[in-house]
Structure 1
Amino acid sequence: MGVGYPLDLVICTALGVDMYDCVYPTRTARFGVALTGDGGEFLRLKAHTYQTDHRAIDDHCPCQACQHYTRAKLHSLLKTNNPLASTLMTHHNITYMMTLVSNMRKAIQQHTYANFCHNFVQKHFASSQKTIPQWVHDALQAAGIPFPIP
C-alpha cells in the first residue's frame, strides 16, 4: 500500500508485486503536477514557464486534458483555482498510470519486461540528470534484471 510513483511500480512489479493502491496520481494532480513521458517524468503546470506553452501535456495521451486543453490553459485554470483544473489533471494522471500499467503488462506477456525496465529507468534518470540510485540497481538485481552501473 502506498506504492505509487511510476518508478516504484516498475521496480516492484519486477519483484513480483501485482497490486497497488496509492493516491499519488490524484494528489499530485491537485497540486498541478502532470505525469508524462516514458520514464515517469512530470510537469509542474503551475510554473510560469507554461503560461504561454500551447502544447498538450502529452501528444500521445488520449485523455480529455491532452485532447482539448493546452498547457497554457491548464496553467491558467490552476492559477485561478478553477476546480476544472483538478478534474482534468486527475483524469490525465490516472490515464497516464493506466497506460503505464498496460505497457508493463504487455511487456510481461511478451517476455520483454527486462528491456522495459531498462528503458524506463534510463529515461527516468536521463530526464532528471541524476545517477541511478543503488537501491534501483539492487532491486533489479534481486529481480534477476541486472542493470549495469556506469
Structure 2
Amino acid sequence: MTTFGYTLHATSGAARRGTVTTPRGLIQTPAFMPVGTAATVKAMQVRDVAATGAEIILGNTYHLMLRPSAERIARLGGLHRFMGWEGPILTDSGGFQVMSLAKLRRLTEKAVTFQSHIDGSRHELSPERSIEIQNLLGSDIQMQLDECPPFPIAEDASLESLELSLRWAKRSKAAFDHLADDGRALFGIVQGSVYPDQRKRSAEGLMEIGFPGYSVGGLAVGEGQGAMFETLEVTTPLLPRDKPRYLMGVGKPDDLVGAVARGIDMFDCVLPTRSGRHGQAFTWDGPINIKNATYQDDPTPLDPESDCPASRDYAKAYLNHLFRAGEYLAATLLSWHNLAFYQALMQRMRTAIEDDRFEAFAADFLNRYRSSS
C-alpha cells in the first residue's frame, strides 16, 4: 500500500516545490484544492474539475454530518464513490463551520454542542467524533478538531483557545491512530491569531505530538493581507521542512502568490466558485465583473490561450448575456474558468520555483494583476 508522504524537490527563496503522496494519487505542490462543501464543487461536474488540473478537492465535515450524514455516505461506499471523485479528498474537521454557522453553541473541554443551522437539531462534535466522521467519509487527509477563534481576539483569550486546540489535537491524534491504518493522514492546525509567541507555542506543541502535515489556521478572518503575511513569516519557519504546510481558507490570487513566497504548499478557498456564481472572473490582468455593460459587445474570450473550454471558447458578450438572462450555465462557465485560472496559476508557480526564479515571477504577476485596480 502506498503510504502518505511529502518530497521536497526544489526551493526558490522560501517558496517550495514538492509532491504529496497519497494512496489515491500524487499532489503536486504548491497546490490549490477546490472546495466541495456538500459533496459537490458548486455548479461543476467532477470530470471538469479534474480537467482543470485539480488533483485533490476538499469536503466539509460539518455540512456532510448534517446532510446526508456520514453514516449514510459510508453505507453508500464513502465520499469518493458518493460524488464520483477518484483522486484524494481532504476533509476539514467541522470546527470552523460550527463556530461560524451553527446556533446556540456551547464549548466545553469535552466537545462543542450546537444546533444545526438547517433544522435546529442538536449535535455534539468532539475530537473523537470529528475523526470518526472523517473516517466514515473515507477522506485521505483529515484535520484535527480545533477551536476557531474570532478576529480580533484578546491575547489571553487567544492563548486559552490555543491551549484547548492543543489538547484536542492530542485527542484527535489518538482517535485517528485507533481508526485509520490505510495510508490516510491527519494534519495538526497551528493557531495563535496574530501573536508570534503563540504561533511558536502552537507549532512546538503540535510537533511534540507529531503529525505528517501541518495546517495554518486562524487567518483570512479579517486581519488583512499584511498581518496574514507577517504571521506566515513567523509561522512557516517553525514547521518541519519535510512535511507539507497547508494554509486553510485562502484565498485571492495575490494571497496565494504571497503565501507561496512564505513557504506554504497547499490551499483551499471557495472564492473561485463563489465569485463565478456572482459574475466575477479572475484573469491575468486582474478580476473583472462580467455583468458590466462594457462586456455586452465584447467578442473576445476570457483567456484565448487557456486549455479550459470555458475560458477559451465563449465570448465575454455571451457570458454577460447568460448572467443578465439568469441562465444556470452562467455560474457553471465562470466557475469553471476561475478554477482553471487558479490551477494555471499554481502550475506557473511550480515552474518558477523549479527554475529558481520565483521572486521575479511573483513581481511580474502582481504588477500585471494589480495594474487594473
| Superposition TM-score, scaled by structure 1 size | 0.80
1:123 to partner: Cα distance: 1.5
User: Which has more strand, going by share of residues?
Assistant: 2
Q: Secondary structure at the match of 2:268?
A: coil
Q: State the identity %.
A: 39
1:126 to partner: Cα distance: 2.2
Correspondence for 1:28: 275
Residue number among 73, 78, 85 corresponding to 2:323 in the alignment: 78
- Please tell me whether the aligned partners of residues 279 and 323 of structure 2 are also in contact (alpha carbons under 8 angstroms): yes
Q: Secondary structure at the match of 2:288?
A: strand
Letter in 1 for 2:253: P
State how far apart, in whole Å, the 1-side matches of 2:333 and 2:369 are: 24
**Counterparts of residues 38-49 of structure 1 (less than 5 Å):** 41-49=286-294
Q: How many residues align?
A: 126
Q: Secondary structure at the match of 2:267?
A: coil
Correspondence for 1:93: 338
Structure with the bigger RCO (C-alpha within 8 Å, sep 6+) is 1
1:68 to partner: Cα distance: 2.2
Q: Which runs of 5+ in 1 are unaligned?
A: 129-150
1:43 to partner: Cα distance: 1.5
**Counterparts of residues 1-150 of structure 1 (less than 5 Å):** 1-37=248-284, 41-128=286-373
Across the aligned residues of Structure 1 and Structure 2, the Cα RMSD in angstroms comes to 1.1
Letter in 1 for 2:266: M
Q: Secondary structure at the match of 1:36?
A: coil
Deviation readout 1:94-131 (Å, 9 max, x if unpaired):
00000000000000111010111111122233222xxx
Letter in 2 for 1:73: Y
State how far apart, in whole Å, the 2-side matches of 1:11 and 1:77 are: 34
Q: Secondary structure at the match of 1:52?
A: coil
1:61 to partner: Cα distance: 1.6
1:88 to partner: Cα distance: 0.7
| Superposition TM-score, scaled by structure 2 size | 0.33
Computing the radius of gyration from Cα coordinates, the structure with the larger value is 2
- Please tell me whether the aligned partners of residues 303 and 312 of structure 2 are also in contact (alpha carbons under 8 angstroms): no
